[in-house]
Amino acid sequence: MELYYSFSVLIVVASLFAYLNHRILKLPATIGIMIIAMAASLILVLFGEKLFPETLIHFSSVINEFDFTEVLMCAMLNFLLFAGGIHINIKDLKEQRMPIVVFSTVSVVISAFITGVVLYYVLPLVHLNIPFIYCLLFGALISPTDPIAVLSVLKKANVSKSLETKVAGESLFNDGIAVVLFAVILQLAQGSDFEFSFLNIFWLVIKEAGGGLLLGILLGFTASRAMRIIDDYKLSVLITLSVVMGGYLIARSLHISGPLTMVSAGLFIGDFSKKYKMSEITKDYLDKFWELVDEILNAILFLFIGLELLLIPAVGNFWLPGIICIVIVLVARFASIWIPTKIVPFKKKFTTNTIKVLAWGGIRGGVSIALALSIAEGEHKPFIVSVTYFVVIFSIIVQGLTIGKFANSKLQKE
């Protein structure tokens, strides 16, 4: 009952903030909700204890009811990735397959190591001494672009189709390498007896990423065949729900990537509905149902991100390292795109302006915060959580609101 009560409060607050954004701020819904939530959190933090202590306690307890990492990584992320996958055209992905594969694997590793190394040598300049392994851990959790934030922002941004496909495709598929990299470094940081070898890491990547993709294709194929036989919109919606919820349980039990399972299943089912000409009424209901799920869960997620400010009491102590991390992450992102374009023989040459746009379009979001919060309590966790929050907020608000204009201004010069 407590969980239902807390969820009800979040839905009401998300609706109110969405209304205020629509009437006053007129920003993209998710970003507007997050900004209003942050403003409300800041007011509660600064004046809550004096002016409305009961409200502060109430809101803090509501947010505490939810384990952000568990709610996002084990529930919301699956629905949002499936909803994103089902609306993406596989043909567009195939055309950009080489950049997507390289940017979602090699670029993530490059970015993580550049971020970790530079951070380790820069932090002593502001009188902070963080062990190298924790700097590397921050690099691993902040390097992958967030599929939820990217897809949400790109819907409203006026960018070219090829650029949108590159950025969205990378964000959908970089989970496999990112999660494995984060898990390995986290085990090393926490003194686990994990055997650090190329063979072990390679096997983890194959198992996590490859297993997730294969399971998703299998689920997508099975569900598509069933929907083709019945062609009933009510049952089709129910089948897709079972793919998401049941598919995650299977992926979890097999210890493979749930997010990649959802992406590949969504892509397969979305492609099926186009190829085999699903009846218009079924396709319409299916599209609108998952569009609504996407909008509602995105509203709740970005509300969560804004309200997380209530649960990060140390964030104000790390404002300078936070700004430094923003710069480092942007530089590392640029380098992680630029280096592969000079080595990998892509069919189409990447200009400097295109690389800048791809770097600026690498938006971070809730996944990075969830990974930071999943770190066990310790001396360095407040630093990692706080600077992660700074980078994510900057990324969503500044990069998210400017990517369209930035892309147009840069690419028009070519």
Q: Which of 133-137, 197-201, 374-378, 405-409 has the lowest mean pLDDT?
A: 197-201
Encoding tokens for residue 64? 């505490």
Q: Does residue 332 have a pLDDT over 70? A: yes
* pLDDT (average), residues 28-54: 86
* Of residues 53 and 304, more confidently modeled: 304
Q: Does residue 1 have a pLDDT over 70? A: no
Segment 238-256, tens digit of pLDDT: 999 999 999 999 999 998 9
284-304 core/surface letters (b: 16 or more CB in 10 A; e: else): ebbeebbeebbbebbbbbbbb
26: left (phi over 0), alpha (psi -120 to 50) or beta: left
DSSP secondary structure letters along 79-118:
HHHHHHHHTS-HHHHHHTHHHHHHHHHHHHHHHHHHHHHH
**What domains sit in the chain, N to C, each tagged with a CATH number?**
2-64 (no CATH), 68-300+311-411 (1.20.1530.20)
Q: Residue type for 327, please?
A: V
Between the ranges 3-12, 130-139, 195-204, where is the mean pLDDT highest? 130-139
Are 237 and 285 in contact by the 8 Å Cβ rule? The answer is yes
* pLDDT (average), residues 163-183: 86
How high is the mean pLDDT of the chain? Answer: 88
Q: Does residue 413 have a pLDDT over 70? A: no
Segment 207-228, tens digit of pLDDT: 888 999 999 999 999 999 899 8
* pLDDT (average), residues 114-140: 96
Encoding tokens for residue 279? 């009846």
